[in-house]
Structure 1
């Protein structure tokens, strides 16, 4: 039986956290009904009474990524196959597929959540989607949200032979792209490609008004640098293929969890304790997910959740997403993390021109290499060495590299020969390309 969503909750429907809880509880009953149709949860409920409300839900064990893998492909399915609109798999590297699927009705909720940007999306926008369209949800999600708001979508994909960086820059410039969606690192690669083409990112793309980013941890310092380079706001988004958008940024620059569309908990893997806020791993129960209900799904992302008031007035919890930022390596007795090193690297003066860097954590020495403008090499190395010493008190070796060492110039300027497969070639043609798309 199809359950049609007549109206999804909208920002402003509640005045305080108590009313927000009422919004959640009103939909939770339907969510639990959907879950009972899933073979996975039907088996889990057979071991104990099926939950009827929030209190019952809290007694259920967490759903894990391994549960999804173990029930690949359709062991989590709660609707008839005929009702599915899309099938996806996450970008994880565990080796086993992590399936996810949605109905057309599910997609209404997905698109609306992503479209909740303080920099609004409208029919006047040209929106470049520069994330994968393959099995992951990310490209499809931004595409659907932009079309929901009437924008013109440019499906740029990511790491595609058909869309090299030279073409990305041409599209950004010639089409007057106003909004983009990508990982933060992509925006730095575009800036380098723009400069390689003789353009100034802050001047020669006047239509651009915001960069939407997600998919990797982003330090405050790198975010500021990206915004300075392009001269527009950088708006962060957080979510997953298994859940869609889970949090978006408010006008005050804080990341808010969409708690009217999902229940959130914080799990401490060291103690096993689950709380509504604090630091730990984010646990999610989507409330408008019919095809594949997830109850207390542990994303395994490290977060800090707070219910303190935000000046934006949205009355939603805020989150600081650490992700891989909490992961680090020991150097001389100190835990060194990518997020903290990134803060130090992008804390260098913008005039040094540093955009690309890498580091290796040896047992007693941190080695950092970064591309630096020729006249700034000595100063940049000295400043970063001093900053690492102040932050960690560990030995550090900083090396300045020529621009184009870590990101080769040819990667920014190449135009690939993308052709359709063929089998007949002329005498002076390379027939080793037979049947290939490259």
Structure 2
């Protein structure tokens, strides 16, 4: 543990919400001082005294995603460029990507927060990281956290042709992978690929201890289904490229905000009011971010925050994450979100075997397609139709598709021919591959 790590708060160092707020207020002046070094916040903070407490911080305007885009690439830089360790950009889920950068010291905080898993990582673990290793933070973050804990990291970038699903299954099985990090949808694809390779996910991977997941909203129904398929716990976390890990799951299955490392608020865009808890959009002020400090950054994720006690004893607020409001679509007089619809799809009986689905929201009705075997097609489509009408109150058309329609069998079984570029070929070789790298 280096000197910077030893200065960071650790779980168990506070015993009440008052203690937690004292931790925040102790670090906040340093955070604001860092922010004032950047061109963006230098202008924003120039008109008055720098806020020194959470109450004073609440007087500042929110920082928006558009602010980050407008400040591209280094308008929020608060340290000399020579001190930067990494540069990242968001995935651009809704709009243009936002820049983000970190120092080596920032990375200590990042890795520690990600490593706060109730199923811990150690040097006995093989951690398969199956998220992008490019400009996004997620793969690098899991990699750094795994190494911090001594785990052997298997870098299985899910945007590389060198790591198709058939190879994922082989690596999981042959290496005896114990822990994984991926979006939840990956685990369904792995299960289908494992079955295609003749493996039983819940029986033929005996070393697997847990599936770590984040990066997309996860309903309780889908989490339970994935856990049953693989026979191990699904451990969720929540964060962003701009902030790193913001919340992790406790042993009682609740997501806790890392309020010892950041200040959190809930913003109601309808009224413009901000509260400590309740429903709205999550606003965050990371407390140990020096390269690119963010003050009252609105993630625009719909959440519900509560300060009710949890049996885990961590003394941290809990959060439910529902995703972006922009991802809801009108059907009749109702707004349908993926979160609500996913809960219904994965509440279908396991015996129906429904893993993959898609839906299109049209003004008069909701069109849903599910992959389902012939023998379960009528039962599955009837059950989902009834659930949608009863729960969402919208008309729907549910169609059962043959397995392999939405996720082709070749996606699950093929091994791509990944080659290095070359220019000289033999007489019987395909020289149309010259200079290609795929």
TM-score by length of 1: 0.97
Deviations 1:304-356 (A, max 9, x none): 00000001111000000111378422223222221111111111110111000
Distance 1:313 1:95, change over 3 A: closer
Mapped to 2, the partners of 1:394 and 1:113 lie a distance apart of 41
The answer on 1:289 being equivalent to 2:272 is no
* Number of residue pairs aligned between Structure 1 and Structure 2: 436
Deviations 1:199-248 (A, max 9, x none): 11001100001000111111111111000100000010100000000000
Mapped to 2, the partners of 1:56 and 1:324 lie a distance apart of 28
Shift of 1:94: 5.2
Q: Is the 8 A contact 2:29 2:53 kept in 1?
A: yes
Mapped to 2, the partners of 1:369 and 1:39 lie a distance apart of 50
Q: Is the 8 A contact 1:63 1:298 kept in 2?
A: yes
Shift of 1:5: 5.5
Mapped to 1, the partners of 2:269 and 2:325 lie a distance apart of 17
2:180 corresponds to which residue?
A: 180
Mapped to 2, the partners of 1:384 and 1:53 lie a distance apart of 51
Shift of 1:362: 1.6
2:109 corresponds to which residue?
A: 109
Mapped to 2, the partners of 1:326 and 1:218 lie a distance apart of 17
Distance 1:191 1:102, change over 3 A: same
Deviations 1:408-438 (A, max 9, x none): 0000001000000000111111111111112
1:345 corresponds to which residue?
A: 345
Distance 1:5 1:250, change over 3 A: closer
1:265 corresponds to which residue?
A: 265
Q: Which moved more, 1:320-329 or 1:275-284?
A: 320-329
Distance 1:35 1:230, change over 3 A: same
Mapped to 2, the partners of 1:178 and 1:265 lie a distance apart of 36
Shift of 1:393: 3.2
SS of the residue 2:162 aligns to: coil
2:302 corresponds to which residue?
A: 302
The answer on 1:170 being equivalent to 2:170 is yes
Mapped to 1, the partners of 2:248 and 2:88 lie a distance apart of 22
Deviations 1:375-403 (A, max 9, x none): 11111111111111211333221111111
Q: Which moved more, 1:65-74 or 1:3-12?
A: 3-12
2:241 corresponds to which residue?
A: 241
SS of the residue 1:323 aligns to: strand
Q: Which moved more, 1:15-24 or 1:5-14?
A: 5-14
Deviations 1:18-62 (A, max 9, x none): 011111111111111111111111111113332233232111111
Structure 2 gap segments, 5+ residues each: none
Q: Is the 8 A contact 1:286 1:294 kept in 2?
A: yes
Shift of 1:4: 4.6
Q: After the TM superposition, which residues 96-135 of structure 1 pair with which residues of structure 2 at under 5 Å, given as runs?
A: 96-135=96-135
Mapped to 1, the partners of 2:62 and 2:303 lie a distance apart of 17
Q: Which moved more, 1:79-88 or 1:45-54?
A: 45-54
Distance 1:230 1:411, change over 3 A: same
Q: After the TM superposition, which residues 355-394 of structure 1 pair with which residues of structure 2 at under 5 Å, given as runs?
A: 355-394=355-394
Q: Is the 8 A contact 2:301 2:325 kept in 1?
A: no
Q: Is the 8 A contact 1:72 1:97 kept in 2?
A: no
Q: Which moved more, 1:166-175 or 1:90-99?
A: 90-99
Mapped to 2, the partners of 1:328 and 1:365 lie a distance apart of 14
Q: Which moved more, 1:45-54 or 1:292-301?
A: 45-54
Distance 1:326 1:277, change over 3 A: farther
Mapped to 1, the partners of 2:225 and 2:318 lie a distance apart of 24
1:62 corresponds to which residue?
A: 62
Structure 1 gap segments, 5+ residues each: none
Shift of 1:93: 4.4
State the superposition RMSD in angstroms: 1.3
Shift of 1:272: 0.7
TM-score by length of 2: 0.97
